[in-house]
Structure 1
Amino acid sequence: MTTVEIQIIVYGSCSRDPENDDRYGADQRRVEILLNPILPADATTMPKKHKWLQEYLRNLPPDMKHNRNWRCEFCKVHARETVWMNSSWMHLTPPRALSYVHHVCNAAVGPCAENVRAIDAEMARMNNLPPTFSIPARDLDITFPMSASCAVCHDESEKSRKHLKQCAKCELTRYCSVDCQREDWSRHKICCKSLKEVKWHWT
């Protein structure tokens, strides 16, 4: 039985953060998440290991997005999108992966999207790799659910957002009701059951 170490660091801001660059650095608002899923026994080759990792990560966006009253990392407008930057070392023992998740208001156009591209380019330069982030292929008029809303029904009303509660087991994903939590369990349990640690930097 092989356990995979997956570290996910989620960045964003809140309305109380400074307007200048003082909100960045070692104390930047974030949550650090450690997951320890079990690698399937049939994932015996490197391509199979990477395929499993991609499928596992593909299940996690609602958990990493809908867990706090996140605002855009750069402009402090309510965040509506998350941008993932992933690295993995599946050849190591134990296999490892690292993801940086950035809460933004708009990942396709505007200065905040440019900031995301700049971060991706700098990470690529540091790792001697080509940049990986590209503009999402989508209708630019689409409005994504607010990060501060319920992970299932996405009710953005102030009344709903004020009464969201985190999953009691993982203390991460937020829901407006027991019904929404039950509806999401078949998906959320993949994250919830493999979550080892949640460390908030939110003061």
Structure 2
Amino acid sequence: MATAEILVIVYGSCARDPENDERYGAEQRRVEITLRPTLPSSATTPAKREQWLWTFLPNLALDMKHNRNWRCEFCKNRARETYWMNAPWMHLNPPRVVSYVHHVCDAGAGPCAERLRQINAEVARQTGLPPAANLPPTDQVFPLSASCAVCHNETEKSRKNLKQCSRCELTRYCGVDCQRADWRRHKVCCAAVKEVKWHWT
């Protein structure tokens, strides 16, 4: 069966990171996830593969957000949002995608949102692809990235006792009940994950 090659690079920070730009560069805090999902038999052309891609990537959103005690990549406040930038090459064989996921405190307004817009423009310049859409400001409060992928319990006790899925070593849950409740969704990502490389010292 044909597969796609997807590399997801998730960026953020932690409380120990320096306050200045020394935390960026080759050793920047991140996790690199290699996935090889099976393509549906109907994905026979680049256009059909791309159509499949935009239905597959949203299934990964919780897994790429709730996997570590992430703080905002730019200001080190606790992260509540993730912002995706995708570079697909669906005409290749196998088709390949690189997704950059940024943990931020606010992707719609403020200085961190402005930093995202700058990175977005640079990624578009380097890939020759249209930039990802900017997110509008919102009053909605999203769950902490550091919380359980299902119940989003934000208490310190819950956050300190989260366990990662033993197969993919990625998605975190507060217990067996939440993991079982999420299995129908999570198993798609879990089966596709081939390698998880943490840059978290």
TM-score range, shorter chain: over 0.9
Q: Which residue of 1 aligns with 2:117?
A: 117
Q: Which residue of 1 aligns with 2:43?
A: 43
Aligned equivalents of 1:51, 1:124: Cα separation in 2: 20
Q: Which runs of 4+ in 1 moved over 4 A?
A: none
Q: Which residue of 1 aligns with 2:96?
A: 96
In the TM superposition, what is the alpha-carbon distance from 1:132 to its structure 2 partner? 2.4
Aligned equivalents of 1:164, 1:71: Cα separation in 2: 16
Checking the alignment, whether the CA contact within 8 Å between 1:117 and 1:133 is kept in structure 2 is: no
Aligned equivalents of 2:39, 2:141: Cα separation in 1: 36
Any stretches of 5+ residues in structure 1 without a counterpart?
none
SS of the counterpart of 1:193? helix
Alignment deviations for residues 163-199 of structure 1 (CA, whole Å, 9 cap, x no partner): 0000000000000010000000000000000110000
In the TM superposition, what is the alpha-carbon distance from 1:94 to its structure 2 partner? 1.1
Residue 175 of structure 1: which of 173, 176, 179 is its match?
173
- Equivalences for residues 80-91 of structure 1 within 5 A: 80-91=80-91
Q: Which residue of 2 aligns with 1:67?
A: 67
Alignment deviations for residues 98-131 of structure 1 (CA, whole Å, 9 cap, x no partner): 1000000000100000000000011112233443
In the TM superposition, what is the alpha-carbon distance from 1:47 to its structure 2 partner? 2.2
- Equivalences for residues 20-39 of structure 1 within 5 A: 20-39=20-39
Percent identical pairs in the alignment equals 69
TM-score, normalised via structure 1 length: 0.96
Residue 143 of structure 2: which of 137, 145, 164 is its match?
145
In the TM superposition, what is the alpha-carbon distance from 1:48 to its structure 2 partner? 1.5
Alignment deviations for residues 66-116 of structure 1 (CA, whole Å, 9 cap, x no partner): 000000000000000000000111111111111000000000100000000
RMSD (Å) for aligned C-alpha atoms: 1.0
In the TM superposition, what is the alpha-carbon distance from 1:25 to its structure 2 partner? 0.2
Q: Which residue of 2 aligns with 1:55?
A: 55
